[in-house]
């Protein structure tokens, strides 16, 4: 296109057939800045390196920049200091029933171990659409949300590896043990509750092209779910009868983990 009309850019088919190579053939910024001007100051050329100087709302010059390469992720870090909780929703994780058919006060140890599958998204903050090698994964320290007094805060969790994509699921295991006092002739319904948090965590990653071998720093946001467990809700009912109204309700702290 460019060489045919003497303009500044040629659009060549990329080697991966996913887009075009934008090739400069002339001196940039030499035109009159009209809407049709191929020299319009959207793309800059610095010693052969093409980059975006500023965006244009012109209908004639809106396109996606796709580097003619495939990338690998070298490293990734999460910025938990600037992470935010988008929403927090109470949720019932599981329920168990214990009984004491004797005439003496008893106790039961109730243990919950539940597996949750929740979706996550890596969202890049860039005008460039990087293409990655198949099934690429990112290794990083996963965030953890904890309760501090009456609010929630972030801390660093375990190192994990997740596929670098959107809409995939990660596994979270929730586990707590409780010692439940059960009055005589009582059936106790134990409800394992948690707060489900949707978090938005900024990240920085270093990627490298397979062909160019040049490292590039990118930024984005990791959106994912985490849980904070809470006290166990215990509703006591007479062991005989079908009443749906509990005789009393109590809340029990989890046993300390060894």
Q: CA-CA distances (angstroms) from residue 204 to 64, 139, 153, 163, 223?
A: 22, 12, 21, 16, 14
**Residues 21 and 90 placed together within one structural domain of the fold:** no
Instruction: Please tell me what DSSP assigns to residue 132.
Output: B
Neighbours of 124 (CB within 10 A): 16
* Whole-number pLDDT of residue 256: 87
Domain that holds residue 210: 72-252
| Residue for token pair 């467990």 | 229
Domain total in the chain: 2
Do 129 and 66 form a contact (C-beta atoms < 8 A)? yes
Q: Quick check: helix, strand or coil at residue 80?
A: helix
Neighbours of 24 (CB within 10 A): 15
Structure tokens at 153: 């805060």
* Whole-number pLDDT of residue 4: 46
* Whole-number pLDDT of residue 128: 83
Listed in sequence order, the residues at least 6 apart from 8 whose beta carbon sits closer than 8 Å to its beta carbon are: 2, 24, 25, 26, 27, 28, 30, 31, 38, 39
Q: What is the pLDDT along the chain (258 residues), one digit of tens a residue?
A: 444 444 456 667 666 555 566 665 555 555 555 555 554 455 555 555 555 544 444 544 455 677 888 999 999 999 999 999 999 999 999 999 999 999 999 999 999 999 999 999 999 998 788 999 988 999 999 999 999 888 999 999 999 999 999 999 999 999 999 999 999 999 999 999 999 999 999 999 999 999 989 899 999 999 999 999 988 999 999 998 788 899 999 999 999 877
* Whole-number pLDDT of residue 3: 45
* Whole-number pLDDT of residue 66: 76
Q: Quick check: helix, strand or coil at residue 251?
A: strand
Name the domain boundary from 68, 100, 123.
68
**Residues 7 and 126 placed together within one structural domain of the fold:** no
Half-sphere exposure of 67 (CA within 13 A, CB side): 23
**Residues 165 and 229 placed together within one structural domain of the fold:** yes
**Residues 49 and 64 placed together within one structural domain of the fold:** yes
**Residues 20 and 141 placed together within one structural domain of the fold:** no
CA distance 256 to 238: 30
**Cα angle at 165 between 198 and 82, to 5 degrees?**
40
Sign of CA dihedral 206, 209, 214, 220: negative
Do 78 and 139 form a contact (C-beta atoms < 8 A)? no
Listed in sequence order, the residues at least 6 apart from 15 whose beta carbon sits closer than 8 Å to its beta carbon are: 68
- Closest-CA residue to 130 (of 222, 216, 22): 216
* Whole-number pLDDT of residue 230: 84
Q: Quick check: helix, strand or coil at residue 19?
A: coil
Do 66 and 14 form a contact (C-beta atoms < 8 A)? yes
Structure tokens at 136: 């690429």
Q: Kindly report the pTM of this predicted structure.
A: 0.74
Within a domain: 106: yes
Q: What are phi and psi of 87, to 5 degrees?
A: -160, 155
Within a domain: 145: yes
Name the domain boundary from 10, 41, 68.
68
**Residues 15 and 137 placed together within one structural domain of the fold:** no
- Closest-CA residue to 130 (of 240, 254, 16): 16
């Amino acid at each position: 296109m460019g060489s045919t009309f003497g303009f500044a850019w040629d659009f060549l088919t990329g080697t991966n057939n996913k887009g075009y190579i934008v090739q400069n053939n002339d001196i940039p910024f030499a035109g009159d800045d009209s809407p049709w001007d191929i020299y319009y100051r959207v793309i800059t050329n610095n010693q052969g390196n093409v980059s975006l100087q500023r965006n244009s709302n012109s209908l004639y010059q809106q396109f996606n920049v796709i580097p003619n390469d495939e990338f690998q992720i070298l490293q990734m870090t999460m910025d938990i200091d600037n992470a935010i909780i988008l929403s927090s929703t109470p949720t019932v994780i599981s329920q168990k029933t214990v009984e004491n058919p004797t005439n003496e006060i008893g106790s039961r140890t109730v243990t919950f171990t539940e597996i949750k599958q929740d979706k996550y998204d890596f969202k890049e903050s860039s005008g460039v659409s990087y293409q990655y090698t198949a099934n690429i994964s990112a290794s990083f320290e996963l965030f953890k949300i904890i309760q501090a007094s009456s609010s929630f805060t972030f801390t660093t969790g375990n190192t994990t590896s997740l596929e670098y994509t959107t809409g995939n699921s990660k596994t979270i295991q929730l586990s707590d043990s409780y010692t439940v006092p059960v009055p005589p002739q009582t059936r106790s319904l134990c409800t394992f509750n948690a707060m489900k948090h949707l978090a938005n965590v900024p990240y920085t990653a270093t990627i490298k092209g397979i062909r160019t071998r040049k490292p590039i720093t990118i930024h984005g946001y990791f959106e994912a779910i985490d849980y904070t467990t809470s006290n166990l809700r215990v509703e006591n009912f007479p062991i005989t009868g079908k009443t749906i109204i509990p005789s009393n309700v109590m809340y029990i702290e989890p046993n300390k983990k060894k």
